Amino acid sequence: MISFKTVWDDVQNIVNNNEELDIDIIEKYDGGFVIKHHDDTTFINKQDFVGVWCRIQCDDEVCVGLHELGSKDEVKEHYVCKILKHLPYIEESLGILRISQ
């Protein structure tokens, strides 16, 4: 099992190294970062990743399908998944993220 500490460390490395995420990150902090989504900004923090990571661990997958992003929570989850799919132990298939076997 991959610990959340490992996940968070890897996420921080991806965000800090400006990997090709196609995300407009306008500010970075130790506990998270601010993204620009259309004309709005959203703060994404460690707790946002905890929620999605728990769902991946409990359900063995999480859907990242394209849908209308209305609420702040939907926007956050969209960007969390967009980053998580860059982790070497995550695979994406048909809009579903899973831990690689």
DSSP 79-94: HHHHHHTTSTTEEEET
Q: Using CA atoms, how far apart are residues 47 and 21, in angstroms rounded to an integer?
A: 20
Tell me the pLDDT of the chain (101 aa) as tens digits: 899 999 999 999 999 887 678 899 999 988 899 999 888 999 999 999 999 999 898 888 887 755 555 677 788 888 999 999 999 999 998 888 999 86
Q: Using CA atoms, how far apart are residues 27 and 45, in angstroms rounded to an integer?
A: 12
pTM: 0.87
